[in-house]
Amino acid sequence: MLLHIPDVLEPAQVTRIRTALDAAEWTDGRETVGAQGAMVKRNLQLPDASPLRLQLGQIVLAALAKNPLYHAAALPLRTLPPRFNRYEGGGQYGFHVDGAVMGLTTEAQLRSDVSCTLFLSEPDEYDGGELIVNDTYGEHEVKLPAGDLIMYPSSSLHRVTPVTHGARVAAFFWVQSLIRDDGRRRLLFELDASIQRLTQSGADAAALLQLTGVYHNLLRQWAET
């Protein structure tokens, strides 16, 4: 499921994060990928050990914690602390699939079910830099306002086109969902959205109770913890 989630960050939060990142020291983004990824990855990244990465990541995670649309769609179980990258001067990331298992700590690991990119640059700040996600319905081109997030299955083939002018700055992270299968996650998301709309329209209370029960029983049947 490819989903645009608007206004994850408020403008003031975007400004705070960008001010800190614009003054930060960056490193080669190839340091955090395997051999195949390094062949097609050309960008800059905030070092994983940087205290600034943890500080800014907490702002992102706190914003996500208050976003009901994100939770309904991702059904997060574990989240890798956000990383931050920068594309400029022709920087790009060729077609690739994200790694299936990633380290949360030296003792714990995370299965990547959902990939997320949180845009921190306005579209008119840079040329190029579109996120291209390839799925069964073709290629989707994504370039969102600062503060907006795109989420998509981590199994998707995707790339970032060359940035030929300006700088594209973003946060990115991965989620292990309670629901491993993307098709089931989509069904639960659509059912949840329907329940919310019916509730707002004043639909029959007994029918809503029944639908809510169906949702939770499916979640109970499919969830992995």
- Show the DSSP H helices in 116-181 as ranges: none
| Lowest mean per-residue pLDDT among 25-39, 117-131, 206-220 | 25-39
pTM (whole model) above 0.85: yes
Class of domain 3-177: mainly beta
Tokens for 205, please give them.
């209370």
Q: Across residues 157-170, what is the average pLDDT? A: 98
Is residue 219 predicted with pLDDT exceeding 80?
A: yes
- Assigned CATH topology for domain 182-222: DNA Excision Repair, Uvrb; Chain A (4.10.860)
* Same fold yes or no, 3-177 and 182-222: no
Q: Across residues 143-156, what is the average pLDDT? A: 98
- Give the pLDDT of residue 70: 98
- Give the pLDDT of residue 22: 96
Q: Which residues, other chains included, contact 41 with Cβ-Cβ below 8 Å and sequence gap of 6+? A: 29, 30, 33, 93, 94, 96
- Give the pLDDT of residue 180: 97
Sequence ranges of the domains in the chain: 3-177, 182-222
- Give the pLDDT of residue 37: 74
- Give the pLDDT of residue 136: 81
At residue 51 the predicted structure's pLDDT band, cuts being 50, 70 and 90, is very high
- Give the model confidence (pLDDT) of 55-75 as tens digits: 999 999 999 999 999 999 999
What does DSSP assign to residue 14? H
